[in-house]
Amino acid sequence: MATQITNGDGAASVSALNCIDLSSSDTHRSVSLLKQACLDCGFFYLLNHGISEEFMAEVFGQSRRLFELPLGAKMELLRNKNYREYTPYLDQHLDPENQVHGDYKEGYYIGVELQEDDPEAKKPFYGPNVWPAPDVLPGWRETMEEYHRQCLEVAKSVARLVALALDLDIHFFDKPEMLDEAIATVRLLHYDGQVSDPVKGIFGAGAHSDFGFITLLATDDVVGLQICKDKDVKPQIWEYVSPIKGAFIVNIGDMLERWSNGVFKSTLHRVVGNGQDRYSIAFFIEPSHDCLVECLPTCKSEKSPPKFPPILCRTYLNQRYHDTHTDKNVYTEHNS
């Protein structure tokens, strides 16, 4: 890791991550690389995932068009109780112990589309999305729905490799109570030109681990993502993750760490801004609303009993979202 980047907080190493080719017929090698990555740092690159670069460019273009709208227009799309739609700058506060303000980013959540009269729509994280008007952003909804669909298929393919890496049946996570009825969310993100200063507690996104199963992250070519492979080492050592054109950066989340009994790591990461606008798109996949996340049979033994108590997916997600987002009452003045 001789490469270094100077990006607003001094020089930092660039992390060397495993690259997994999703189109490869050598499943054994893919599983081996994934397992090694999940044991080491919980991050890896995913190549040849099947989503074309042309379509990715279209998705990023539509994302930019949304964030270029006037603030008033975006606030009309403010996130609802199911965490859909727009989140303003500073709305999310991921590391309150070390951040003086919230994250210097704005975002937009898009979940699984359900009609309001669907019984499942009453559950947290389910229900209809609220879309920008088609005359304001033509083709926007269609682009995002197609991107959501394609990402879901990619995420399920990665989950099958994860199952094999944990000595489970390849379709273990395809069960209805798991990923067949997944909570799947696209989050568009825009970091403005704010220069981060870790010493002063100013970040594009504060240090955090992701809440769910796995995350697929697409980014533009502006560096900013950093990972900390060992959160318990003091002082913490942060390494940059460089973008690779056409590749996803994939990381595992808290639920997979719980499922695997801590064998696979849900790693701390953050975004450090360097004064350039940065766009990224995260796709989060979690098990179904009613899934009980508990230690997998292949990850426990007499010498290694379960480290985490069982917990319902909805309970864990609700708490983490509530803890990291601003109370919506703060924005009442924008809707009056």
- Per residue in 182-215, pLDDT (tens digit) is 999 999 999 998 899 999 999 999 999 998 999 9
Q: Is residue 12 part of a domain?
A: no
Q: Is residue 2 part of a domain?
A: no
pLDDT for residue 328 is more than 90? no
pLDDT for residue 225 is more than 90? yes
User: What CATH number does the domain containing 191 carry?
Assistant: 2.60.120.330
> Considering the chain, what percentage of its residues have pLDDT values greater than 70?
92
- How confident is residue 331, by pLDDT bands cut at 50, 70 and 90? low
Q: Is residue 10 part of a domain?
A: no
pLDDT of 203 reads: 92
Q: For 50-54, 82-86, 150-154, which range has the lowest pLDDT when averaged over its residues?
A: 82-86
pLDDT for residue 321 is more than 90? no
Burial of 139 from C-beta contacts in 10 A (0-12 / 13-18 / 19+): exposed
pLDDT for residue 2 is more than 50? no
82 vs 1: which has the higher pLDDT: 82
User: Containing domain of residue 305, as a range?
Assistant: 19-325
Q: Is residue 221 part of a domain?
A: yes
State the average pLDDT over residues 2-7.
46
Q: Is residue 170 part of a domain?
A: yes
Q: What is the mean pLDDT of the chain?
A: 90
pLDDT for residue 334 is more than 50? no
Q: How many domains does the chain have?
A: 1
Q: Is residue 330 part of a domain?
A: no
pLDDT for residue 138 is more than 50? yes
pLDDT of 94 reads: 86
pLDDT for residue 80 is more than 80? no
- Per residue in 85-131, pLDDT (tens digit) is 899 998 888 888 888 888 999 999 999 888 888 877 777 778 889 89
Q: What does pTM read for this prediction?
A: 0.92
State the average pLDDT over residues 275-290.
95
- Per residue in 14-47, pLDDT (tens digit) is 888 999 999 999 999 999 999 999 999 999 999 9
